[in-house]
Amino acid sequence: MDSVIIEIRAGAGGDEASIFARDLFEMYSKYAASQDWRLFVLDSNASSINGFKQITFELKGENVLSKMKNEAGVHRVQRVPKTEKNNRIHTSTASVAVLPKPQETEIRIKPSEIKMDFYKSSGPGGQNVNKRQTAVRITHLPTNFVVCSQVERNLEDNKRAALTILQAKLYDLKKNAAQSQILQERKQQIGTMDRSEKIRTYNFPQDRITDHRLNKSWHNIDRIMKGKLDDIVEKLKTELQGSDPS
């Protein structure tokens, strides 16, 4: 049974980008439910308009890595935002990174290698949702990776979630010969989150989703956003497996 850590970050487009990040999370959540996968939110940073600046979560289940790995990259949306008064179409982006979760024995983190900071969890707009310092920020000193978790009200649960994220990042680093390679791989996955760097476009006015790696489009966008990703996922597995050794 596989486990992956997925990180969605709002990119270009301001508030609309954070709403799109939330939409992607909800799409993957519904797809996960259809696959009988388990989903655990590890960290999130909500925006003031019910979106996500960033959300990190774990998916666990059969074939989750082979089905989700091709979701990594920059996703672009074209639509009229709910906040738009002049009916203009906006273009926004969100990045998706997909990291395999290592086994417990594959990555061991020494206490001397990390620095832990504790702070109060906050909700949208910086509102404190917990008067106690239950949020956790971990810095991995050898690599300078920084991970956080504030979704649980219990300090120990947030520590475990943050360490899970860190282990996944270190495992991804371990798979590469040098740190420069993982930085290049991450850049290839999420780019600069500029609108021109994209793997897929969600065009709502034209009711069309286009995957640019396959140069193929699907219609009925509302159905796909409700988690009906099977056609896209299977097509990507078939078309890209020859160029992807993993």
| Spans of all domains in the chain | 2-101+180-240, 111-174
Complete edge-to-edge strand list for the sheet that includes strand 52-61: 38-46, 52-61, 2-10, 90-100, 73-79, 200-203, 208-211, 216-219
Question: CATH number of the domain at 2-101+180-240, please?
Answer: 3.30.70.1660
Same CATH fold, 111-174 and 2-101+180-240? no
Name, in order, each residue with C-beta under 8 angstroms of 16's C-beta and a sequence gap of 6 or more. Answer: 77, 81, 83, 90, 92
What is the pTM (predicted TM-score) of this model? 0.80
Helix (H, G, I), strand (E, B) or coil at 209: strand
pLDDT score recorded for residue 126 = 45
pLDDT by 10s per residue, the chain, length 246: 789 999 999 998 888 999 999 999 999 999 999 999 999 999 999 888 889 999 999 999 999 999 999 999 999 999 998 777 788 999 999 999 999 888 766 788 889 999 999 888 765 444 445 556 788 999 999 999 999 998 877 888 899 899 999 988 888 877 754 445 555 666 666 665 555 569 999 999 999 999 999 999 999 999 999 999 999 999 999 888 655 544
CATH of 111-174, one of 3.30.1280.10, 1.10.730.10, 3.30.160.20, 3.90.1150.10: 3.30.160.20
pLDDT in tens, 180-212: 555 566 666 666 555 556 999 999 999 999 999
pLDDT in tens, 203-246: 999 999 999 999 999 999 999 999 999 999 999 998 886 555 44
Residues in the chain: 246
